[in-house]
Structure 1
Amino acid sequence: MATSTSWAQDVIICDLCDKPTQQFCNSCQVSLCDTCIKKHRDEFKSLIHEIVPFLERKIQLVFPECPHKGHDVEELTEIHENKVRKIKSDTEEIKANIIPKYQNEDQNIVNTISKTKSKIDHIGRESKRLRKLWHQEVDNIFDKIDSLSQSLGEENLNALQDKGKELSIEIGGFRATLKHMSQPNLSTDVSRLATGIGKLMDKVGVIATIPTTYSSLFGVACVGGAEAWIYGNNKTITRIDIYGSVKDTVKTTCQYRPGGISVTRGRELVYSDYVSRTVNIVRDEKSEILITTPRGWTPRRLSCTRSGDILVQVYNCHHSYHL
């Protein structure tokens, strides 16, 4: 800690050199020795220097001279007052105009959002109502189509089945006649057969026309009252409705084409393969062998009975036919 003696011994040095100071420039607030006074005046010739003994110095704030020319000088208090007035003016502008303006815009946005949500909710409700209405209309249309289709299908296919039964009875009669024909009376029996066939053809009539993709139709087997399996001169058997629309197809194991088709009481498709001498049933879209005829006998036409049996027409190389 410094003592009174040590303070008395302290020497104040000139600000421009290392010599003890004797003078003081009140204008520049600089301590000077006698030697540096001239140097100080020469360095700042544009300023007025008040040089006094050091003990008579006056301590004051000194602002450096602005090196730029042509600057407007204003009082600090005036600048402060101007700034305060500008702040008050801006504050009043913000309170009176800007804040209300943005509050109004914000409220408009809130109102627009509310209206938009209401419109979206209304559109959603209207969409659900129309969807329900249109679904009901579509259901009604297809219910009418299904009802009409079922009615027409049952009517047409039942008529075809009845006509087929009549033809089968007539053909059976002709076969019996042919079986009992004798060689001497062949011409007479042929004449009787021709007459019978003519009478039978007179009873044949078209009750419905169903379009198919087959150029040659070899066989038909009804499935219920509205559909039927059909086949032609290829390996494929096709299930169609009364309008000819394809509902299902089965590719058989036949080398050329089926010999005959029928439908079981359980509505399973069966077909004969005259090359492999088999009668096959279709289950899960695959063919399974039900019957293999004895060597020399070839299966052809098929007929499923109500009791669940299958009648198979077979023939041999001597053209002998049996069921």
Structure 2
Amino acid sequence: MDPWKSAQDVVRCTLCRTSMAFMYCEICHIHLCKDCVETHLSDSSKVHNVVSLKQYLTTLNYPKCRKHPTKQCELHCEQCDIPVCAQCISGEHLGHKPVDIFQNFDIKKEVLQRELEELEKSIYPKYKEIASNIPVQKADLSKNSQKLTTVIDKQGEVWHREIDTIISNLKSIVEEMESKHLVILKKQEDEITRTISEITQTIAELKKILNSKDVCLVSEYKSRNAEFRRLPPKLKVSLPNFRSEKIHTDQLIKQFGSLSALSFTIEEQDYSMSPQGAKSSPPDRSLMDVPQVITAIDTGYEYLYGVTCLNDTEVWTRGNEDMMKLFNQQGKQVKSIKTKSGYVPTDISVTRSGDLVYTDYNDRTVNIVKNTQVQTVIRLRGWSPRGVCSTASGDLLVVMDSDGDKQSKVVCYSGSTEKQSIQYNDKGQPLFSSGHYKYISENRNLDICFSDCGARVVVVVNQAGKLRFTYTGHPSTTKGSFDPRGITTDSHGRILTADYDNDCIHILDQGGQFLRYIDNRHLQFPRGLCVDTRDNLFVAERGTGKVKKIQYYK
């Protein structure tokens, strides 16, 4: 038996390939038996470092350089993300940032450890959970199919009974018509039979008279020929027939009943570990049956358009003036900032660092207020900004329309640098209508939520800009009556949007399913929305000029 192919758990010498290897050359990366060590060291063309195999397996070793086989990689090039030797650093990696390879090793092991923990504790259990739900879905599918089959059979029985009844009624009518016809025919038959008998009798009498010499009989005979010449009336009968109707299958299906179409919706599932930059999910809380208005702040605007939270005690507002006002929750104005251009601000938001940011549609700018000083960070050409929001990563999402309101898109900016543009779906069709009011918010799972007043729809895309779903209002409402304006999200990933025409707020879950209303008992023409860190809702009422703080969680 070949000793190299037997006992595969034993490490064999790389040189002789027969003896067990107890040594290892860290330079040449080969296993050696004791007898071959001296032979290997005799090669003076290379520097060798032979250690015991146990020491090699329990001690971190420098990898061999791919470019320079006689060198060991004691460094790691961060820029190229590969191990390098000293000769590499002074050569093609000159100017790159090297770190100690064991330091990089420790960092990467930490990353690998986190990945292992994520796989074991989060991803694997999630897949197991999803997999375990499939048999349940199969069982539900089978039950539903059986239920549908039973309902269809019952409907078939109803139809069969109706058809049997129709057939029976038609047969009864046929029998009744036949009976009536037979009575008439029998009466006519009896009358004709009686007349024939009388004619036969008359013929016999005439023959008797003609053969007789009795003058009296001839004189007394009364002719009946005139009577018999009146033939019985001819009975014209229009026999009934059956006219079958053409079967229209489409109409039959409509009358019988139909199955709703089988539909599949691909919905992204929430992952238990939040992506980098996303907010972690707080413990689930129940929505209140009847939300409560806690406070109402009179802003003094004739028309109030928007509100955004600076913190849990103060909110910025905008209205039909070039002045943006900061109020505390006692209703006191704390600060005011005038727009740089003198135009009315189009939308407002607050950055992660607490700076006010506003868009100026007429001036084509996006501006940030730092220490009461207005700084223009983005100036557009051919486009004008509308809605704006600050993301978890500190970027800005800006909704904008092209000149002439022919196109609309969402652009993500890091400072004044454009990072991403979102405009079309997978079929190359526009995601948003052009013109009209537009509001935007980032959800805790990094979805981008967009209310499109012109199209009367809420559009939600994921972080990559791929369409997740659209919402056009509760199915029970009249089509086209949904009028979305301000939009915001809370710590549970629920989406809230103001329905301006219907004086209410729609609350949706993260997947776009309607949960409930905050109805018109509390609101008048709601326009702007925001929530604080405690999930209190702030609503800007256009007509009253008030900001209402509403508690909607228990």
- Verify same fold: TM over 0.5: no
Give the number of the structure with larger relative contact order, counting CA–CA contacts within 8 Å between residues 6 or more apart. Answer: 2
- For the pair shown, the structure with the greater C-alpha radius of gyration is 1
TM-score, length of structure 2 as denominator length: 0.23
**Which is richer in helix?**
1
**Which is richer in strand?**
2
